[in-house]
Amino acid sequence: MRRIFITGSSSGIGAAAARRLAGPGSAFAIHARANLDGARAVADELIAKGARASVVQGDLEEPGRARALVGAAADALGGLDVLVANAGFADRTRLDDLDTARFLRSIQVIETAFLELVQAARPLLAAASEPRIVAVGSFVAHSFRTDAPVFLASAAAKGGLEAMVRALAVELAPQAITVNAVVPGAIEKDRGTHSAMTPEQWRTTVARIPLARLGKPTDVAAAIAFLASAEAGYITGQMLHVNGGLIM
C-alpha cells in the first residue's frame, strides 16, 4: 500500500496530483484548510479509482498545525510513504504595503510549515521502502521583470523553500529519503478559486510563454507523480520546472 499525504489537495495542483497517483494499492490523506466540500469530493474520486482516501483539515498558518496534520494523516493511513507539500498562496503586495505580519504569513505557510511537515514525517518515511518528499515551488521565485508582476513575499518564501529542499536532500539521503521540488509556471486556476493576477496580467504572461499557453494542473501533477515514483529513486535535491519555457 502506497500511503500519500498531499497538503492543499482540495483543488488545483494538489487535487490533480492525487488523481494522477490514485489507483488500487494507494491510500491518501487529502488536506484542506477550509474547503472541506472540495476535499471530500476529491476523496470520493480517489475511492472510485480503487484507492483509499480520508480528509484532514487544518490551517498551516497556525504554528504546530503541520506536525499535527502529519500525525492525523499517518493515523488514517497507517504510516507514510510520500509527502507532497503543495499548500501555499500567492501574495502580490508591494513593498510599501507589505507589513511584517503579512510577510511572515508567507514564510509561515510556505517555509515554516514545510519544516514542520518534514520533521514530523521523517521517522515515518524512514520506515518506508521508497520514501519521497516533493515540495511545490513557484516561478515567482525566478521571474523578476519590470513588465510582469513581482510577488515579493511569495518569491522570498518559495526561494527559501527551494534552498530547504537542497539542504534536506543532503540531510535525509542517509535514510534514502529523496527530497525534490516541482516548480510550476503560470498554471490555470480551478473555476471559482482566487487568482492573484488580473485577466490582463494573465494574458501578458501567456504572451511571454514559448509554448503559448497556460499550464494545467495535470501538467504539474505528472511531474509530481514522477518524483514520487520508484523510477525517481536516484533523483534528489532537484527542482523540476514545469512552465512551458517561461523560465529558462
pLDDT, tens digit, 9 for 90 and up, residues 30-75: 999 999 999 999 999 999 999 999 999 999 999 999 999 999 999 9
Domain ranges of the chain: 2-242
pTM above 0.85, yes or no: yes
C-alpha grid cell, residue 236: 534528489
CA-based nearest residue to 16, from 178, 218, 203, 233: 218
State mean pLDDT over 112-140.
98
Is 2-242 a domain of CATH 3.40.50.720?
yes
Least confident interval from 191-195, 199-203, 229-233: 191-195
pLDDT tens for each residue of 211-248? 999 999 999 999 999 999 999 999 999 999 999 999 98
Specify the DSSP class assigned to residue 192.
T
Could you give the strand order of the β-sheet that contains 52-57, starting from the edge strand earlier in sequence? 52-57, 26-32, 2-6, 82-85, 132-136, 178-184, 239-242
Residue 198: partners with Cβ closer than 8 Å, 6 or more residues away: none
